[in-house]
Each structure stands twice: as structure tokens, then as C-alpha cells.
Amino acid sequence: MSNDFRDDAIVLHVKNWQTADKYAVCFTREHGKIRFIVYGGRYPKNVAGRLLQPFAQLSLEVIAGQRIDKLKSCELLEMPQAFDFKQMAYAAVVTELTAIFTEDHQPQPEVYELLEETLKLLRERNPRIVVLSFALKLLELVGLLPQVEACGVCGCIIGEEDAWFSPLQGSAICKDCHNPSGEEKFSLGTSNLFKHLKNLDFQNPAPFSIKGGDLMELEAILYKFIMFQTDKPLNSISFLSQMGM
Ligand SMILES: [Zn+2]
């Protein structure tokens, strides 16, 4: 029985492997996240090695190996449009989050579609907002979306009022249950922004206005929550903060 397959893929991560090869992690339309070796991928004349760049959308043919899969062939699906520096820094958050929060060979076509739409939208809209919205949508698709409608301690419904957020519990906390250690402010504006960005229509994003304070508050709680999930800071998010973006 052969497990070879052909599929559309978005490149999440590529690195050099031994002297002449490349190692790539991709997210595919039908086969979820995959990783494979591209033998000879570092030679300048190797077409696959040249096409396998982060964020590229490719059609791949993969041969299942005993220990690791290998790439048989690849073709460009769409000519990649160049990202500017800022868009690229945000796109790196998108690919790193996808790599961290998905499992190998677990088909999640909706994650593929989200990736595809996000990388397009990053070129057209404010990348900071797009990435925040992407992060919420991805967390929802992988079943890790923080709970913000009800208090994580007493379960009461948090209405139209300011509350708190516990990155450790991944939940909003009501005023009565608030414990000053380790909980972040979660104002009504931030809560509304959370819901708005989670449901934002990427095909047809309607214009909306955002308060800078709400945006910063939402980024702070979400990135802290992600850090609790992953146990370490993401390289791409550390890079953004070093660059003051
Ligand atoms: Zn409570």
C-alpha cells in the first residue's frame, strides 16, 4: 500500500538540512500539516528547493518514507506576491501559530482556507489586525479559543461591563472573582473587539474602527494566553515586539 499523495500546500517553514538538502513544514488542503525532506533542495538548480519559500502556495507530490516523507515534485500554484518587511513579519506569526497549533497528518481543510485567505488579506489590510483576527479564528478551529462570554471561576455571564482575563485559565473573570495576581484587564471594548475580529469576514471585510487601547489590550491577553499554551514565547511575536511593531 502506498501512502504517496498529491496536494495543495502552503509553506510554513523551511530550513537547510545536512549539506545539500532542505527540510520543510507545510500545511496542505487535504492532509493537514506535513513535513518532508527535499533531497538536493539546496542546489541552486533544484526547482523544488527554489519554490519552497515560506508563504508560497504549491502543489506537492510527496512520497511517504519509513522515517520521514520526501518531496517528489512541486509546482507553483500561484505566483507569490512580494510582502513588504512588515507584512512578512506578521506573516511569520501566521505560519508559526499554524505550525504550533496543528497536528501532523490531521486534515483540517478549514485551516488551509483560513491560511490562504489570511495571506491574501495581509497584503491588503492592516497586518496587525489581520493577524489578530487570524489568531482568534485559528484558536477556535483547533478548539482552544478562550472563553469570554462567562466567568471562568463562577460561570456567571459577563454582560456589558469591564472584566478581567486570566491567560492561565484562558477565560474572562468577573469582577467578583477577580484575583489581582496574574489577571489582565479585559475591558468591554476589548471584549467587543475580540468578538468582532473572531467573526470578521475575510472574503468581504467590512470597514470598522478600532480604539488603540482595546487593540493593545487584546494583543496583550491573547499573546500571553498563547505563551501559556506553548510554554515559550513565539519567535515571530518576539521579533515583532523587538521591532516595535
Ligand atoms: Zn465570577
- pLDDT tens, position by position, 169-220: 999 999 999 998 889 999 999 999 999 999 999 988 888 899 999 999 999 9
195 C-alpha to ligand 1 centroid (Å):
20
* Four-CA torsion 119, 43, 21, 101, nearest 10 degrees: 0
Give yes or no for residue 1 having a pLDDT over 70: no
Domain ranges of the chain: 5-76, 85-242
| Element at 239 (helix H, strand E) | helix 235-242
This prediction's pTM: 0.94
The domain 5-76 belongs to what CATH superfamily?
A: Nucleic acid-binding proteins (2.40.50.140)
142 C-alpha to ligand 1 centroid (Å):
26
Q: pLDDT of 100-130, one tens digit each? A: 999 999 999 999 999 999 999 999 999 999 9
Q: Count CB-CB contacts under 10 A for residue 128.
A: 17
155 C-alpha to ligand 1 centroid (Å):
6
Per-residue confidence (pLDDT) for residue 2, from 0 to 100:
62
Tell me the pLDDT of the chain averaged across its residues. 94
222 C-alpha to ligand 1 centroid (Å):
20
Domain 85-242: CATH class, spelled out: mainly alpha
Q: Please, which residues bridge with residue 11 across strands?
A: 26
Are the beta carbons of 162 and 126 closer than 8 angstroms? no
Report the distance separating Cα 177 and Cα 1, nearest Å: 57
Q: pLDDT of 134-167, one tens digit each? A: 999 999 999 999 999 999 999 999 989 999 999 9
**Nearest by Cα to 165 from 223, 240, 232, 211:** 223
Per-residue confidence (pLDDT) for residue 205, from 0 to 100:
84
Burial 133-166 (b: 16+ CB within 10 A, else e): bbbbbbbebbeebbebeebbbeeeebeeeebbbb
Are the beta carbons of 96 and 14 closer than 8 angstroms? no
185 C-alpha to ligand 1 centroid (Å):
14
Q: pLDDT of 48-103, one tens digit each? A: 999 999 999 999 999 988 888 999 999 999 777 789 999 999 999 999 999 999 99
